[in-house]
Structure 1
Amino acid sequence: MKHFKVFPHLNIEELLSVLHSQEEIRAFKDWQIIYSVAVNPGKTAAELSVLLGVSKSRIYRIIQSYNKQGKSWRVSKQWGGRREARSLMSLEEERKLLKEVETEALSGQILIYRDIKGKI
């Protein structure tokens, strides 16, 4: 069984404070994994995966990312939501288009998706 460790980017108290400051559940779970590995240095990934309820591969992936990137490893992680770089329209343009499409759809002028796609 493979033993691994967390590089000391943060000490145990700092890890605990970062863990408690998380508002998002995914971030909390990721920091919980890092904290658990730091506090239990002799445990294997299999033992920790049973304890934390996650897969061994997730534990390896999170620890590897943390060890490689340091304290700010999770800053760039974003789940869902609008990413402006991929958006074709701004939110205001999208609202305007939806309002226009809604009025036309209620009056029966829009029959198929191509009618909407033509407006974009």
Structure 2
Amino acid sequence: MRIFRLIYIIFIALRFGLDEFILSHTKLKPLQYVLNTLLFWRNKQIPRGERLRLALESLGPIFVKFGQMLSTRRDLIAPDIADELTKLQDQVPPFAFTEVERVITNAFEQPLSALFLDFDEV
């Protein structure tokens, strides 16, 4: 099951052109050219910060939380990326309660009723 999640994460990273963060190193440039040729259909005209934010939103709540934490560390990331990731603080589209329930149930391997006395779905 985890291998499918890894494949999905790689797919999302390639879909949003996040490979440029990893493959921008000079020794990996040939691989970047190959990937750009094979994945010609993706839109890399969108600014890199926005592509990163959209990818994190697509990957789910854990990745959104990671983006929120990263947005507060302007000493670690470029200003354009930090500005875009700050949108994850209060402009994240809502996701279904079923997704919340699934994540919590998988993480703790118990149903919500066993973990909480009351859990509001709002």
Q: Calculate the TM-score normalised by the size of structure 2.
A: 0.25
For normalisation by structure 1, the TM-score amounts to 0.25
Whose relative contact order is higher, 1 or 2, with alpha carbons under 8 Å and at least 6 apart? 1
* Higher Cα radius of gyration: 1
